[in-house]
Chain A
Amino acid sequence: QQQVRQSPQSLTVWEGETTILNCSYEDSTFDYFPWYRQFPGKSPALLIAISLVSNKKEDGRFTIFFNKREKKLSLHITDSQPGDSATYFCAASETGFASALTFGSGTKVIVLP
């Protein structure tokens, strides 16, 4: 049972466009939602995160929008750059010291110049 779902599986955009990545979850106990970015051949690294108390989180060109009622999140990357080409993972967990992340299957983004 996949508790965190991502769509699309892959996405190609042109430089300068806005990239939109989608994520949904099922477990109502999840209250922390990080996005990790993984470049080819590298390890995942935290990009941006949001908790249940917020509807939106911005960090430069990256913004998370959160619809708690529908259990859906989206990551928007404005002015996409070729250097943004990577796989993006949505994850979720409960807060608490014993928490573990449940990862989605990822969205591979290619930004063409």
Chain B
Amino acid sequence: SQTIHQWPATLVQPVGSPLSLECTVEGTSNPNLYWYRQAAGRGLQLLFYSVGIGQISSEVPQNLSASRPQDRQFILSSKKLLLSDSGFYLCAWTPWGQTYGYTFGSGTRLTVV
């Protein structure tokens, strides 16, 4: 069966520090991968999605970036965190060629201090 792993679960980082969040999917090939952010009291905002290795689409201009170095690995990064980057970050996947039916990871709670 397919599983999605996301880590770390919680993270407290100072302003200006770098960020790396990792997400991996097991049990499937060529998944579509997504990064969402959920700010406190707000809905989900799509940050990036990827339909293949090295293929990243950015939805919101900001100081975050994403990479997909392997088929089932999706990384969210920042060179310098801002206070406004605090939030709950969710990785998700859908099967290749399917545009619906997200499966979400358990999320990372990021607090920038």
A and B: partners?
no
Please report B residues at the A interface, Cβ cutoff 8 Å: none
